[in-house]
Amino acid sequence: MDLRLAGKRAIVTGGSRGIGKAIARALLDEGVRVAITGRDEEVARAAAAELADATGGEVHALVGDTREDAAVDGLVAEAVRLLGGLDIVVNNAARPGAAPAIPGVAGVESNYILDELNTKLVGYLRVARAAAPHLVAGGWGRIINISGLAARSAGSIPGSTRNVAVAALTKNLADELGPKGINVTVVHPGATRTERTADSVAKKAAADGLSTAEAEKALYGHSLIGRIVEAEEVAAVVAFLASPLSAAINGDAIAAGGGAARVIHY
């Protein structure tokens, strides 16, 4: 299927690792010109070089912290300068959720949850705010916010709160920008294979005396597909949402976690 993305211009925050890097690769494979962002210059530049070598596409590495207004304004301005404009925004700059040392409300430290919200919710808002005028000027655009299935379950107050908030941000942006030609969606990955997965599986295998395959199944085999989702599979969903073919989807949440048993979302 031709996603009609060739020549489009995208910024992917948190694009130097994991799901963000896979998304950048998927967009490059479709002919998109891409700027990835990260906080570690060495890692970002290495990722950009790897992506360029693998795809032959145009990819730029930008360095900045999405927790800061000025840094985000600079990142977006530099992406626009390098690419000559902007059509697609993928908000992905956030760290994986971490289990608190003390479970429940007693373990939710104020500074931790405030940093989580500043990074994911307000960080995504900063990027959208800086990018929106460029998308509107072009009369067409896509903003895809990467959130997570913790938005649909309890168990982690910071995880659920930040992801629900991103979904709410997404709908507000869609209502405002939709009439101006901009579709805004949120993608909720579940357990997804990234650079961190092998370490988690190894620790589980050692702790429980399991094989690697058994440990991975125990950790990540609870979805309807019975396995962990690959980052490239999440990226394929994002690439479609970034394309003109996704015109009918705006303001909605798309789950990309392999399917949850006995749950209905409507």
> Residues 246-264: pLDDT tens digits?
999 999 999 999 999 999 9
Same domain, 22 and 151: yes
**Residue-level pLDDT at 126:** 98
How many structural domains compose the chain? 2
Expressed as residue numbers, the domain containing 133 is 9-191+230-254
**Residue-level pLDDT at 101:** 78
Asked which of 48-57, 92-101, 193-202 is least confident by mean pLDDT, the reply is 92-101
Q: Which helix (H) or strand (E) holds 230?
A: strand 229-230
Same domain, 140 and 199: no
For 41-59, the pLDDT digits (tens) are 999 999 999 999 999 999 9
Same domain, 158 and 30: yes
Closest CA to 169 of 136, 120, 131, 135: 120
User: Residues 166, 186: contact at Cβ < 8 Å?
Assistant: yes
- The span from the CA of 65 to the CA of 59, in Å, is 19
- The span from the CA of 206 to the CA of 201, in Å, is 9
Asked which of 101-110, 155-164, 205-214 is least confident by mean pLDDT, the reply is 101-110
User: Residues 252, 220: contact at Cβ < 8 Å?
Assistant: no
Whether 264 is in a domain gets the answer: no
